[in-house]
Amino acid sequence: MITAHLPLLQTLFPNIDDWGELGQACVDTLLMLGASLLLTVLIGLPLGVLLFLTGKGQLHAMPKLYGALSLVVNVLRSIPFIILMIVLMPLTYVLVGTKLGIRGAIPPLVIGAAPFFARLVETALREVEQGVIEASQAMGASTWQIVRYVLLPEARASLWAGVTVTAIALVSYTAMGGAIGAGGLGDLAYRYGYLSYKSDYMVVTVLLLIALVQILQMAGDRIVAHYSRR
Amino acid sequence: MIRFIDVHKSYRVEGKDVPALEPFSLEIADGEVFGIIGHSGAGKSTLVRLINLLERPTGGRILVGDTDITALSDAPLRAARQRIGMIFQHFNLLASQTVVENVAFPLRLAGDKDTKAIRARADELLQHVGLSVHANKYPSQLSGGQKQRVGIARALANHPSILLCDEATSALDPQTTASVLDLLAQINRELKLTIVLITHEMDVVRRVCDRVAVLDTGRIVEHGAVADVFLHPKHPTTRRFVNEALPEEAAGERLPYEHVPGRIMRLSFRGEATWSPTLGRVTRETGVDFNILAGRIDRIKDLPYGQLTLAMQGANVDAALRALREAGIEVEELAR
């Protein structure tokens, strides 16, 4: 697609030397986003469910466990992502064998975003009517059945809204990650746009990031609308 | 049979025990419709939730059939709950599921894997409550009365022996209330299901209940057959509830008959006595004159009853009262 419009793009942004590199950066960003979003949901969803269930007045209220989980989540959320990434480097190396590139970016991305998503999950589940949970208990549902068949389906719309917000947060995290060697669009913007004064790179990457966020938000809104039943 | 044996319940609020239900014992017979009436905060929601252990009693035992449900561990308790249906004031349907999926839900929870059999049972239940045409709609597309019918169908899915109704008609308009109560009465007749119903409306009790307990700030202050409690309320709280259903006496304890000459008598007729012209015959024979001050003829569930407040005058009032009592009419003299 990009190649078809190359002449036009080259006239618009004459200072971009290598469109192939830009294309690769797009792919890298999308890969980082996809992989980290998947892992964030896989970790954040159960964590959010656990936060919800152990919360005050809920099915398995456990104030101490809730307090501990809550503290960990808050600590991870209060560290700015760029610092979290640096702090986590040794752990990243142990986990994936490198601190750089897409692979090196994924552990900090997930560790940064999963607590955020878990909080969104907790909030979404709290919006499920208490009466519906009580009715399921009265029908003899186990906790697992309540989570699987009541909480998650009833909160579907809010959960998808949470995934959308998290995905958009991850886009900005990946761009930040670019500054310390993660690759992707943020890396290009930083290296060429900032360090080498090639403002065309900055403009194009920013436009691409805006487009990506727009697409994510629109897709998210459509899914949310589809699942809204109230 | 549901039996409460020395049951009490208190909540811990900020380190203090706050009693919600004072110790009580109560038996609810198989196949009866048992009403629990009380104002909000009286503890009736807590009481009904003791039966399926959504609320655990602080002390005492609760027998459902022969099982002490307070002694059950997790899995048997869940199995027991599947045999106790429950409907709610705000219906509590799954908003993300269609009507038929809502009705099928308890069957899936019970571990039934045969989707065809589940669907057939759900369809049968929906037909029973008259909602077959709405099977594939979502709850938000239904009226309150229809939602409660879905709730009832769902509660009946696993062939329960008990149906608990938590203010099931309180969110509905009078006409819808009547149709939902008719459905409950029909279910009680056809399925021989025990129904325990809590409400703050005496009219609900009068229409469907066989027996009633009156709850006042955590205490059962009066209980018995609805006709007895309704026609001869003893506790002030009961009287207030009954007077709500008898608006002409809503003035309560003090009767507005001070200037009426004669003795003020209340006559209660039950069953067949309601339809026989006893009062006319007795007054004619004894030469007693009477003036009707207030009156009502209605039904308590299937039992016709009448209640008349009369001012009686004449030399033979006592003889007339004896004759009325002999004819099976309950007579009480009201203090002015």
- Give the start-to-end residue ranges of the domains of chain A: 3-225
In this predicted structure, what is the pLDDT of residue A3? 63
Predicted confidence (pLDDT) per residue in B189-219, tens digit: 999 999 999 999 999 999 999 999 999 999 9
Contact B227, B241 (CB under 8 A): no
Question: H helices within chain B, ranges in order?
Answer: 44-51, 74-82, 99-109, 115-128, 144-156, 174-191, 202-208, 226-231, 236-245, 278-286, 317-326
For testing contact with chain B, the best of A127, A139, A154 (most B CBs within 10 A): A139
Q: Minimal CA–CA distance to B88: which of A125, A153, A139? A: A139
CB-CB under 8 Å, A138 with B109: no
Which residue from A minimizes the CA distance to B74? Answer: A142
CB-CB under 8 Å, A156 with B109: no
Q: For B81, which of A138, A149, A154 is closest by C-beta distance?
A: A138
In terms of CATH, what superfamily is B2-245?
P-loop containing nucleotide triphosphate hydrolases (3.40.50.300)
**Euclidean distance between CA atoms B305 and A88, whole angstroms:** 81
Q: Which residues of B touch A138 (CB under 8 A)?
A: 52, 54, 81, 84, 86, 164
Residues 6+ apart with CB under 8 A from A33: A167, A170, A171, A174, A212
A7–chain B Cβ distance below 8 A for any pair: no
Label residue B255 exposed, middle or buried (CB < 10 Å: 0-12, 13-18, 19+): middle
B96–chain A Cβ distance below 8 A for any pair: yes
CB-CB under 8 Å, B94 with A150: yes
Contact B19, B44 (CB under 8 A): no
Enumerate the domain spans of chain B: 2-245, 263-333
Q: Tell me, what's the ipTM?
A: 0.86
Query: Residues in chain B with pLDDT < 50?
Result: 250-252
Predicted confidence (pLDDT) per residue in A35-91, tens digit: 999 999 999 999 999 999 999 989 899 999 999 999 999 999 999 888 888 899 999
> Which CATH fold topology does A3-225 show?
MetI-like fold (1.10.3720)
In this predicted structure, what is the pLDDT of residue B96? 93
CB-CB under 8 Å, A136 with B109: yes
A63–chain B Cβ distance below 8 A for any pair: no
What type of residue is A160? W
In this predicted structure, what is the pLDDT of residue B162? 97
Q: Which residues of A touch B108 (CB under 8 A)?
A: 149
A40–chain B Cβ distance below 8 A for any pair: no
pTM of the model: 0.87
Sheet architecture: strand order including B303-313: B289-300, B303-313, B263-270, B330-333
In this predicted structure, what is the pLDDT of residue B137? 95
What class has domain B263-333? alpha beta
For testing contact with chain A, the best of B13, B109, B170 (most A CBs within 10 A): B109
CB-CB under 8 Å, B86 with A141: no
For testing contact with chain A, the best of B12, B48, B96 (most A CBs within 10 A): B96
Sheet architecture: strand order including B33-38: B84-88, B162-166, B194-199, B33-38, B211-216, B219-225
Q: Tell me the backbone φ, ψ of residue A61, rounded to 5 degrees.
A: -55, 120
Q: Which residues of A touch B93 (CB under 8 A)?
A: 132, 135
Per residue of chain A (230 residues), what is the pLDDT tens digit? Answer: 556 667 777 788 877 778 888 888 889 999 999 999 999 999 999 999 999 999 998 989 999 999 999 999 999 999 988 888 889 999 989 998 888 888 889 999 999 999 999 999 999 999 999 999 999 999 999 999 999 999 999 999 999 999 999 999 999 898 888 877 778 888 888 888 778 788 888 888 889 999 999 999 999 999 999 988 65
